[in-house]
Chain A
Amino acid sequence: MSQTEQAPALAEGVDTPTPPGRTSSLLARSLRLWRTRIGLLFVLILVVIAIIGPWIAPHGASEFVATPFSKPGQNGAGILGSDYIGQDVYSRFLYGGSSILLSATISTAIGMVLGIAIGLVAAYARNALDEVLMRAMDVIMAFPQILLALVAVSLIGAGWGIIIAAIALTTAPRVARVTRGAALPVVERDFVAATESMGLSRPRILTGELFPSILGPIMVEATLRLTYSIGVIAALAFLGLAPDPNGANWGSMIQQNQLALATQPWGALAPILAIALLTMGTGLIGDGIARTAAGIDRERGDE
């Protein structure tokens, strides 16, 4: 996974924004593609595990059940064995999804709102404000997401609040760039000039006219950013910088149990597969939406 700014399929969809009305059905139309369905299935399975997991877990998240690194079934350990201090891997796996999913969703949402606002204002400004905003975004983008999060955590201390803030702050400029790129051609179109002459206020034009026209690329960007947020937040936990290093979350679990990969791989493998399925799921959904949006544009071109 990497910091690449936009998927190729997205680039095809950016040039001609989908008109309002069509976009409301974009998600529904994208579900006609198998990739979107499979992606949605992956994500749903893991979201369900994260939500109901704590209720169906046979043991507590920090309850000792067997000697450390017992294999599945050995010494009375559960179906996935025990972990580095003898806790039940299966139970911790069921507990471990919610914190990462929740923090990734919240930070992506904040970053999206910030980025969309900045991108729309910059695209609509068409003056020095546009230059200043985009230069500022360039400066933030010079820092890889994980680097900025690491520095923030080292200065202020690990906490979900600071992790969410760091991810949101580094998500925003990447979203702003895509939003501005998609909105620039729309700003030049006649219907925007028409709303201006009707005397609509700037916020009304941005939210009511511009924003609906670029929903396609925005939705693709949202899935892409969510994929990265999950990856970076899990990576921070994996690096030992989660708020509770002994906590039960998928990233920390991989770090705690990777010492015993040779003898009891499940302690690390279960959370790895969960994160892999989750990010592949969001990636597939994003690709499905991008292909659908590009397809709608192609249809429009033929009309």
Chain B
Amino acid sequence: MRWLRGGGISGFVVRRVLLGLLTLFLVSVVVFVATQALGDPARAILGRDATPERLTALQNQLNLDQSLVQQYLNWLGGLLHGDLGDSLAAQLPVSTLLHDRLINSAVLVFCAAVISIPLSIALGSYAALRREKPFDTISTNIMLLLAALPEFVVAVLLVILFATTVFTWLPAISAVPPGTHPWDDPKILILPTLTLILAVAPYVARIMRASMIEVLESDYVEMARLKGLPERTVLRRHALPNAIGPVFQVIAINLAYLAGGIVVVEYVFAYPGIGSALLDAVVNHDIPVVQALAMLIAGVYVVVNLLADVATILVTPRLRTRL
């Protein structure tokens, strides 16, 4: 980025988009090399005792007889046209196979994000305002312990607590019968969503608290108070906009994490999303599905980070003036 400076906000956005495209391109090379070039996909699919004829036939079907560069260009070309290839296990186009699952996962991530982000921003800000008071001490320590727990531990503990053992209020399995949508039976969404919220909220709340404390101690908040502005206005107009900037980065990282972390959560609740699709594909050595999902999850990470960088600059008054 050092070779391209200036240009104000639009220059920054253009540089950041170009950088994102470069990262996406490199990501696609890594996905391709890792899945197709390192191993022998045909042998991985058919197993060790495959006959040479079947091996050759499948190698032709997968275009493995072409050069690696040609294979990569074919794959990338298809990817750019929305053609993700055919699933080897289901004999269906990958896009058809993943369509419903993508919607299911998006519903889950959306519910978790919509609840956890405002909740953690509110919790973090309130803890910062009540710094070193009981609310702050208790919430900070609970967040610290929650943040350390792996999400499958949280998920199974929630199942024990609310579904199977202590109480039996909620379903332990979140199956979505074919032809229906997860929102037809919202009860099944509660425990998976709660798991994701508990996995994400501690991080956002901790950063929000740290950021808010820094801003509250700054000169311009002091200045706003000395001007005699009411405390509500000081918080809303001066403190919050500046404090929320760094939080966007953490929200971005956590949203991208949600795209990957749902693997475990969907497995626990047998929820038919892209996470469980990835796990099935891994077990069945269904390389085209693995490639598509790896690109999708990494792509989400790159795009969300890009949006966060731009949003941080646009939202934070003191950074905007520096451009």
Contacts and interface: CB of A to CB of B under 8 A. Distances in A.
Task: Report if A and B associate in a common complex.
Answer: yes
Interface string B17-55: 000001100110010001100110000100000000000
A198 interface: no
Nearest to A269: B160
A258 interface: yes
A147 B148 contact: no
Given A142-B298, A144-B257, A4 B148 contact: no
Interface string A230-247: 111011001111000000
A110 interface: no
Contacts of B298: 142-143, 147
B144 A261 contact: no
Contacts of B207: 4, 8
Interface residues of A, number: 56
A297 interface: no
Interface of B: 1-2, 22-23, 26-27, 30, 34-35, 38-39, 44, 141, 144-145, 147-153, 156-157, 159-160, 164-165, 168, 172, 199-200, 203, 206-207, 209-211, 250, 253-254, 256-257, 259-261, 263-264, 267, 278-279, 281-283, 285, 290, 294, 297-298, 301-302
B279 A276 contact: no
A11 interface: yes
Nearest to B281: A154
Contacts of B302: 142
Interface in A270-303: 272, 275-276, 279-280, 282-284, 287
Contact of B145 (A5, A230, A280): A280
Contact of B282 (A3, A12, A154, A268): A154
A154 B283 contact: yes
A31 interface: no
Given A142-B27, A142-B298, A155-B44, A279 B260 contact: no
A234 B2 contact: no
Given A1-B199, A272-B157, A282 B148 contact: yes
